[in-house]
Structure 1
Amino acid sequence: MKKIALIIGSMIAGGIISAAGFSWFAQAESPAEKTPSAERKILFWYDPMYPNTRFDKPGKSPFMDMDLVPKYADEEESSASGVRIDPTQTQNLGVKTATVTRGPLTFAQSFPANVSYNEYQFAIVQARAAGFIDKVYPLTVGDKVQKGTPLLDLTIPDWVEAQSEYLLLRETGGTATQTEGILERLRLAGMPETDIRRLIATQKIQTRFTLKAPIDGVITAFDLRAGMNIAKDNVVAKIQGMDPVWVTAAIPESIAWLVKDASQFTLTVPARPDKTLTIRKWTLLPGVDAATRTLQLRLEVDNADEALKPGMNAWLQLNTASEPMLLIPSQALIDTGNEQRVITVDADGRFVPKRVAVFQASQGVTALRSGLAEGEKVVSSGLFLIDSEANISGALERMRSESATHAH
C-alpha cells in the first residue's frame, strides 16, 4: 500500500510541475502570437508609365488600363545608393546587363555623293589675235573631242602682214637680226610656234589659222558662227576633261578627323553597279558648311572608259575606327535631350543611374568620353521600369546633385 501511495503521489506531483511549466511557456509565447506582424508603410501609389504622377489611394491608372503600384517607405529608405527591384519583376521584364569595355569605335557609314567634272582637267580656247571666222567645224556643246580636233578656221590680218614682212626681208637680203626680229614679233602676237616653223620651212604666207582642242574632253561652251569677227582674247570654246572625274560627299565634322587614307573608302555608282572604281587620291576640303556642319570630301576617280558622267549619283561608304574608348551598347543609353545617362548595377545588385558624356555612336555601339569605368555593368534591356523607379525613388535627383557638386 505504501508503494502504491508513493507512485500515485509522484504522478500527481509530476502533473502539477508539467502544468506549471506549460502555463509559464504559454504565457511567455502568447505576446508574440497576439502581436500582429509589422505592415509595410505605403507612401503613395503610381503608374510606372507615368512615374512623376502620384496618387494617395490604390485603384486603376487614369492613363493606362492597369492597377496603380504602391511605393513603400522601406524602398525609399533603401534607395540611398540606388534602386532595388524585385528579381522576379526584373526577370519578367527581360532586364539584361552588359559590361563596359574599352576598344576602338568602328564606323561604317554611307553618304550620298555626286560625280562632277575634274576642274583640273579644264581648258579654255581663246583667240590670240583679232580676226574673223572663216569656218566653224560641226561641233556643239556636249560633243566629245580629242586633243588636236579642229574647232574653227580664222583669218588674222596682223599675222598675215607680219609674214609678208618676213618673206620680203628674206628676198631682199635682210640681216639675220631683222628677220629674227619679225619672227619674235609673230610670237608676241600669239602666232603658234608650229605655224612659225611652217612659215620658215615653206617660205609661204599662211592666211588661215585653225584653232584646235588642246585636250581630250567634252565641249561645255561653243557658240560661234562663220563670218563673225572675233577680238583678241575672246573665248572660242571651253573643254572639260573626263578622266579622271571628281566624286564629292559631305562628311559630318564630328567624324571628319577619323578619315586617314583611301583604303577607308568604298565607292559605288547605282547606274554602274558592275564597275570597280579606283580612287587615285582624296582631299578633305577646308571649311565647314555653317548650315549642315559638314566638310566636303573630294575623291579623284579613274574614268578612262568615261562610264562615269558628271551629275551621276554615287554612294560613299566610310569605314573608320577611333582610338580605344569606353564602349557600351547604344540601347543602354537614355537620352532625354537635356541629359544622357545609363543605369549601372553595383556589387550589391542595386540599380544606380549615372550621367555620362557621349562621344559618338555607330552600329549599335556608343563611345563615351566620361562617366563610367571599364568593367562596370550597365542595363541594356528593360530600362524603362528601372529608370522610372529611379525617378520615383529620387535616385535621379541624387545623381544630378552629385554631378553638380563635382562640377563645382
Structure 2
Amino acid sequence: MSTLLLLGAGLMLAGGGYWLGQQQAAHVPQAADAGPRILYYRNPMGLPDTSPVPKKDPMGMDYIPVFEHEPAAEPAGRILYYRNPMGLPDTSPVPKKDPMGMDYIPVYASEVTGPNQVRVSADKVQKLGVRTEAVQERDFSRNLRAVATLEPDEGALFSVAPRFEGWVERLLVKETGLRVEAGQPLFEVYSPELYAAAQEYRLAHRGLQRLAGGDEALRRGLAQLADSSLRRLQLWQLPEAELVRLRGGGEPSRTIAYPAPRGGTVLAKPVLEGARFMPGDELFRLADLSRLWLQVEIPEQDLALAEPGQPVSIGLEAYPGETFDGRVAFVAPVLNGDTRTLRVRVELDNPGGRLKPGQFAWVQLHHALGRGVALPDSAIIDSGRRRVAIIALAEGLYEPRELTTAGRHDGYWQVTAGVAPGERVVTSANFLIDAESNLMAALQGMNGGAGPEGAGDGREHDGHGGAPMVQDDGHDHGGHGSAPMVQEAGHDHGAMLAGEHAHAAQGGH
C-alpha cells in the first residue's frame, strides 16, 4: 500500500513539474526560432528603464526588444571592454559569460563617444541632410561701402569783403553759379573814403612836382603825405590799375570797379545793387571747384579701415558704371557722439567740373587683413556670447567646439582657435546636431551626471555624447535603453559605456 502511495505521489510531482516547465517555456524567448537573440527590452518612450522579460509601460505600450548584434555588424577596431548582455551595470576587461551562460558583448573604440561628442545614426544623417566641407585658409579683407557727400575744398573757398565803407553802384556779376576769372570786375563801388584818399594823394603828388626846386622841408612834408595816402589806398585793396593811374597823375574816379581776387565759381551773392556795405561785409563767396572734398561718415566699428593715404573707389548715381579714384586725406580726431560715426575726408580732382558739390556718392574702402582659417556663415552657431562649430570627427560622430574668431568678412568668419585646416565642419543641419548634444547634456545634468554609487572615481562626465544614468529596481541602466557606467578591475569605463549604449542599443534620439 505504501509502495502504491509513493508511486502516485511521484507521478503527481512529475506531472506538476512538466506543467510548470511548459508554463516557463511559454515566457522564455527561443533564440533558435525567433532569429537574433533578444538581450533585453527597453522602454518604448525612451525612458531610462529596461526589463529582462516582455512587459508594458503604464500607457499600455509594449517594451521594445533589443537584439544581440550579429558578428558581421560589429564595427572593426580595438575592443575597449565587454558589457553585460542584459544591460546590467557590469563590465569586464576580458571575455566572460553571465550567470545565464550568455556571452558579454564587446565594445569597440569606434563605438564610443568622447565627453563632448554626439553620435548620429547614418539614417538620421541622411534624413537631416547633414553636409560637411573641409576647413580651408583664405585671404581676408574688409570692405566698407559708405555714403558720402561732395563739398568744395575749404582751402579753395574765399570771400569778397571790402575793407572800406561804400555803396554798390552797379553789379557786374548778378548770378550765383557763374564762373569768374581772377581780376574780372564784380561790381562798381562808390566810397567816400577811397575818393578822399585818392584826392589827397593827387594833391600831394602835384605839389611835389611843382616844388621840384623849392624848400627841402616842404618837399619832405608833401612826400610823407603822398606816401601815407598811397599806403592807405593799398591797404584798402584799391585795384592796382587805379593805383597806377593815380601815380601817373590821373584824376581820381568817383566809382571803382572792384575785381575778383582770384578765379572761381560764385557760390553766394548776398549783395544787391545800390546796397550800402560796411568794412568786412561779405558781398560774394567764390570757390575753386577743380578739386573737391568727399566727406564720409565711418561707423565706429569700422574705424580701422580708414587710414590717411588709403586709396578708395568712388561711384555716383549720376554716372552709373563709372568709378572715380581718391585718397583718404584726413581722419577726424573726434567721434560724433550723436551718430557714433567718424568723419573721414577724401580728396579728388574734378576735371571738367563733372562733379558737383552737394552730390551724394558711395565710397568703397578696402583693407587687407592677411591669411587665416575661414569658416562659412552656415558653419557657425552664434549665440551672441560665444560661437560654436560642429566638427565631423568620423562617420556619424560629431563634436561641438567653441571658436575664437577675429571677425566676419564677406560671408566668412576668420577663426584663430578651435579648428584647424583639413578638419571637416558641418555646414547644414548643425543646429539639429547641436540641439541633440545639448539635450543629452541637460538629461545628464538632471540625474547628477555620474554613475551609481561606488562606481567610477567620483568625476562628473559631460553629457555630450553620453546618456544619463538612473537607478531602476536596484539596477542602474543607461538612458534610452543603454547600460550604466561602472568601474571594474580598476578600470573606469563610465564615459565610454554611456556614449556607446546611448545609440548602440537603438535608444538614441
For the criterion TM > 0.5, the same-fold answer is yes
Does the residue aligned with 1:390 lie in a helix, a strand or coil? helix
Residue 248 (structure 1) aligned with residue 250 (structure 2): no
Q: Match of 2:436?
A: 389
TM-aligned CA deviation for residue 178 of structure 1: 4.0
Residue from 33, 36, 39 that aligns with 1:37: 39
Matches within 5 A, 1:101-250: 101-173=136-208, 174-175=219-220, 176-250=223-297
After superposition, the Cα gap between the structure-2 partners of 1:347 and 1:235, relative to the gap in structure 1 and judged at 3 Å, is same
- For each residue in 1:357-404, what CA deviation from the matched residue of structure 2 results, as whole angstroms up to 9, or x when unmatched? 43322222111354444544322222122122122111899599xxxx
Alignment partner, residue 369 of structure 2: 322
Where do 1:14-93 residues align within 5 Å?
36-40=38-42, 44=46, 78=113, 80-93=115-128
3-state DSSP class of the match of 2:200?
Answer: helix
Deviation per CA, 1:96-132: give whole Å up to 9, x if none. 2234444431234432232222222211110210111
TM-score (ref. length: structure 2): 0.59
Report the alpha carbon displacement of residue 85 of structure 1 after superposing the two structures with TM. Answer: 0.7
Asked if structure 2 preserves the Cα contact closer than 8 Å seen for 1:144 and 1:218, the reply is yes
> Larger relative CO (CA 8 A, sep 6+): 1 or 2?
1
What CA distance in whole angstroms lies between the structure 1 residues aligned with 2:463 and 2:123?
26
Report the alpha carbon displacement of residue 233 of structure 1 after superposing the two structures with TM.
0.9
**SS at 1:123 equivalent:** strand
Distance 1:374 1:40, change over 3 A: farther
Secondary structure at 1:184 match in 2: helix
Q: C-alpha offsets along residues 257-292 of structure 1, whole Å, 9 cap, x if unaligned?
A: 234576752211121236552426533333333354
Kept after mapping to 2: 8 A contact 1:258/1:321:
no
Distance 1:333 1:294, change over 3 A: farther
Structure 1 residue 44 displacement after superposition:
4.4
The count of corresponding residues between Structure 1 and Structure 2 is 348
The worse-fitting range, judged by mean Cα deviation, of 275-284 and 337-346 is 275-284
Aligned residues of 1:152 and 1:212 also touching (Cα < 8 A) = yes
CA offsets per residue over residues 30-60 of structure 1, 9 Å max, x none?
A: 9976973234567748xxxxxxxxxx9899x
Q: CA RMSD in A?
A: 3.7
Rg comparison, structure with higher value: 2
Question: 2:267–2:286: 8 Å Cα contact kept in structure 1?
Answer: yes
Inter-partner Cα distance in structure 2 for 1:399 and 1:126: 82
Find the residue that maps to 1:142 and give its secondary structure.
coil
| One-letter amino acid of the counterpart of residue 244, structure 2 | R
Instruction: Answer whether contact 1:354 1:399 (CA < 8 A) is retained.
Output: no
Q: Are residues 218 and 41 of structure 1, via their aligned partners in 2, closer, same or farther at CA, if it must alter by over 3 Å?
A: farther
Partner of 2:350: 303
Structure-2 change in CA distance of 1:214 and 1:387 (3 Å): farther
Shift of the 267–211 alpha-carbon distance from structure 1 to 2, 3 Å rule, reads same
- Percent identity over the alignment is 26
CA distance in 1, matches of 2:225, 2:388: 89
CA change 1:216–1:44 in 2 (3 A) is farther
Q: Is the CA contact 2:307–2:328 (under 8 Å) kept in the aligned structure 1?
A: no
Provide, for residues 109-168 of structure 1, a one-character-per-residue CA deviation record: whole Å limited to 9, x for no partner: 432232222222211110210111211125133333333332211112122212222221
Which one-letter code corresponds to 1:128 in the other structure?
A: R
Deviation, structure 1 residue 330? 1.6
Decide which moves more: 382-391 or 142-151.
Answer: 142-151
Q: How far off is 1:305 after superposition? A: 1.2
Is the 1:355–1:399 contact (alpha carbons within 8 Å) kept by the matching residues of 2?
Answer: no
SS at match of 1:359: strand
CA–CA distance in 1 between the matches of 2:256 and 2:400?
83
Structure 2 CA distance for partners of 1:311 and 1:108, relative to 1, 3 Å: same
Counterpart contact for 1:343–1:354, Cα < 8 Å? yes
TM-score (normalised: structure 1): 0.73
